[in-house]
Amino acid sequence: MLGFKEQNEIFALLGRTLKRKVEVLVIGGSAMLFYNLSKTATKDIDIVAFSEEDRKTLRRALEKIGFKLFVEPDRRGHPARLSLGDRVIDIFAEYVMHIKISEGMLSRVREKAEFGNFIALVASPEDIIFSKCMTDREGDRKDAADIIARASIDWKAILDEAGWQSSHNPDKIFGVYLFDFLDELHHSFGAEIPRDVVKRILKIYEEGMEDAKRRYGKPA
């Protein structure tokens, strides 16, 4: 597990090693550490590069520090995974699984931290929730429930992002993950989610299921 101080030490070392400035979006538990949202440590550092070239640049810099690549991304949206001892960094590029990084996400960034040539744009609480819907880990569901309980969530921002993804992201299956995620947060963790949000996401879920049927001949 990595605490906020150790995460920032890695970011600072990375910033000193990079030969040029590289911006990333910090997501997941790594982003939660920047907010007072109950989380004090994260299992992995999750960052999103804005191009494949930037991801390769980050990989080379991390390897100079001593990190070793142990998972090569084999499809769009999957991360390059590097480790040094028990420290793990996941580097996504443009997509996080089925979610495309959007201008809306960047406009909602609340924190920006510069570590030399490494510039961390910290995802908003709303977009942390959005990015966590792509996993099946119970810890991510607990994190999202904690965010909803402790932060003043702008549900319109989540609906706007879901609408943008539905219109601009060719991978419609994201809506299935998002609906199932919010449904589980409500029923298993007691998260309060406005009814109109659930109804809107349900429509996007249905579109995602129809798209899956057209593409694969069966439901997702």
Position 216 scores a pLDDT of 63
Nearest to 28 by CA among 156, 115, 193, 146: 146
Q: What is the CATH number of the domain that holds 160?
A: 3.30.460.40
Quick one: pLDDT at residue 220?
A: 46
pTM over 0.85: yes
Positions in the chain whose pLDDT score sits under 70: 38, 212, 215-220
Cβ–Cβ under 8 Å, residues 98 and 177? yes
Q: What residue numbers bound the domain in which 80 lies?
A: 2-216
CA–CA separation, 98 and 169 (whole Å): 8
Q: Which residues have a Cβ under 8 Å from the Cβ of 55 and sit 6 or more positions away?
A: 49, 80, 91, 92, 93
Helix (H) or strand (E) holding 115, with range, is strand 111-115
| Measured distance CA(44)–CA(59) in Å, rounded | 15
What's residue 208's pLDDT? Answer: 73
Between CA 167 and CA 160 the distance in angstroms is 11
State in Å, rounded, how far the first CA of the chain is from the last one. Answer: 33
CA angle 53, 7, 46 (to 5 degrees): 45
Q: Are strands 111-115 and 118-122 parallel, antiparallel or unpaired?
A: antiparallel
Write down the pLDDT at residue 52: 96
3-state secondary structure of 81: strand
Integer-rounded Cα radius of gyration of the chain = 17
Q: How far apart are alpha carbons 214 and 83 in whole angstroms? A: 39
Domain count, the chain: 1
40-92 pLDDT, tens per residue?
788 899 999 999 999 999 999 999 999 999 999 888 999 999 999 989 999 99
Alpha helix stretches (DSSP H) within the chain: 4-17, 28-32, 52-65, 103-107, 125-132, 138-150, 155-168, 174-189, 195-216
